[in-house]
Structure formats: structure tokens, C-alpha cells
């Protein structure tokens, strides 16, 4: 395996899609695939695919294509999906509940070990077998369980104070659904944002352009 430190973020961004796609091929019974076929199905050029996969040491065999299961497993390892990182969810409202119910954490490299909310009415409710705890218990929970990642499904206004509490408790990475720009306040931490509102505005832009053209 090549040293993955030098891999560009553009390649990294494409890996989950390769992983998903190869998983589907396995489900449909495929065993080998050429970079050309893969490129047709993924709307990337074959040379792009070869370049991407070469970043990790190259899995293909000239004339034989890629062994799908091997490639899927290797990309899974690169993505860190072969082990699980403990994560906690902050915010058990609509969004937090949907994220918990919707996401397959176990197959995405994480184990959800705790859910917190400041709303007394939600405390004690169960989401996917996990009982919602009060945010007052974050400190004691983190000291005992040492989760590395926090999923933030809280309003922007609450994100500053919550992140200020979580980082000294050992949280190194955030899956951030709030619109708070965590990196501005905490440079050096790991943040993966899901900015749904920005995505919706981008769609609005594209639709407006279409309407102007018509």
C-alpha cells in the first residue's frame, strides 16, 4: 500500500463513491471489472480511475481488470471502515433522530455510543436502542467512554459553547450539520460539514439560471 498521506483531497472525495459503487457490483454478483467499464458506469474517464486507484498502490492487472471484492475491501480499509470509532450525537431533535435512524454507522466506520440533548422532554427517550441523556452529562460520559467524534445536530447558536466543551474532552472530529464554521474557531480539528442550507441555495442558483435561459 502506498503512503496515503500524499493523496489529494479530490481523490479522497471520490473514494466513498467508488466504495459504494463496488459494493453494488458485489451485490449484483460481479467479480471483475475493467477500468473502462467502471468509467462508463461512474461517468469518470478510465484514465482518471486508473490514476485514482494507482494512488493506493494499484490493484488492477493489465488485461484482467480489477478484482471487485479485493478493491472494495482495500478502499474500505483506506477509508478506515475496517474498524469503528466511537461517536456521540449532540441534538436529538428532528434532524438528530433522522440522522440516527437513517445512517448505517456500523458500516461507515463508526459506532454511536451516546446521544445527548438539553431538552428534558427528550431525555430518557430511546433512538435505535440508545437512551437520550441530558447534555449536562457530556463531561462524565466522555471521561468514561472517550469518544473521538461528535455529530452536531444542534442550532448554530449552541455550536460554539458545545464545541468549546467537547474539544478539551478529547473530541477530535466533528460531523457538523450546524452552520457554525467550526474550523474558524478551532483550527486543526477535523470537520466534515453537511451544509444542507448551502446545498439548497446552490440548487436555487442552478434552477434560476435555467429559468433565465428559457
**Interface residues with a copy of itself (CB under 8 A)?**
4-5, 12-13, 15-17, 19-20, 41-43, 78-81, 83, 85, 94-95, 97-99, 101-105, 108-110, 148-149, 172-173, 175, 179, 181, 183-184, 190, 192-211
CB of 43 to a copy of itself, least distance (A): 6
Nearer to a copy of itself, 164 or 198 (CB): 198
Minimum distance of a copy of itself from residue 139's CB (angstroms): 22
Phi, psi of 22 (to 5 degrees): -65, -35
Shortest Cβ 149–a copy of itself spacing (Å) = 6
CB closer to a copy of itself, 105 vs 116? 105
Q: How far is the CB of 191 from a copy of itself (least distance, A)?
A: 8
Q: Which is nearer to a copy of itself, 139 or 198 (CB)?
A: 198
CA 47 vs CA 37, 52, 55, 138: distances in Å = 12, 8, 12, 48
DSSP 91: -
What's the angle, vertex CA 102, arms to CA 98 and CA 108, rounded to 5?
Answer: 130
Our CB check for a copy of itself shows the closer of 26 and 194 to be 194
List the beta strands (DSSP E) in the chain. 32-33, 66-67, 85-90, 110-117, 126-127, 130-134, 149-152, 173-176, 190-193
Residue 20 or 145 having the CB closest to a copy of itself: 20
* Gap between the Cα atoms of 69 and 30, Å rounded: 9
Pick the closest to residue 112 from 73, 72, 153, 76 (CA basis).
153
How far apart are CB 80 and a copy of itself at their closest, in Å? Answer: 3
Amino acid at each position: 500500500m502506498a503512503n496515503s498521506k500524499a493523496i489529494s483531497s479530490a481523490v479522497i472525495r471520490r473514494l466513498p463513491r467508488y466504495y459504494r459503487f463496488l459494493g453494488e457490483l458485489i451485490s449484483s454478483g460481479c467479480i471483475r471489472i475493467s477500468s473502462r467499464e467502471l468509467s462508463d458506469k461512474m461517468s469518470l474517464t478510465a484514465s482518471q480511475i486508473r490514476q485514482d486507484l494507482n494512488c493506493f498502490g494499484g490493484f488492477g492487472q493489465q488485461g484482467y481488470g480489477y478484482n471487485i471484492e479485493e478493491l472494495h475491501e482495500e478502499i474500505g480499509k483506506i477509508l478506515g471502515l475496517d474498524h469503528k470509532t466511537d461517536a456521540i450525537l449532540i441534538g436529538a431533535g428532528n434532524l438528530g433522530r433522522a440522522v440516527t435512524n437513517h445512517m448505517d454507522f456500523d458500516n461507515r466506520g463508526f459506532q454511536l455510543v451516546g446521544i445527548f440533548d438539553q431538552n428534558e422532554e427528550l431525555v430518557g427517550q430511546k433512538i435505535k436502542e440508545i437512551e437520550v441523556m441530558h447534555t449536562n452529562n457530556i463531561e462524565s460520559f466522555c471521561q468514561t467512554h472517550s469518544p473521538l467524534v461528535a455529530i452536531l445536530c444542534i442550532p448554530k447558536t449552541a455550536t460554539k459553547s458545545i464545541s468549546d466543551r467537547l474539544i478539551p474532552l478529547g473530541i477530535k472530529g466533528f460531523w457538523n450539520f450546524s452552520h457554525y464554521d467550526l474550523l474558524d474557531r478551532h483550527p486543526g480539528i477535523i470537520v466534515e460539514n453537511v451544509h444542507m442550507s448551502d446545498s439548497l441555495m446552490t440548487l436555487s442558483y442552478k434552477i434560476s439560471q435555467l429559468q433565465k435561459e428559457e
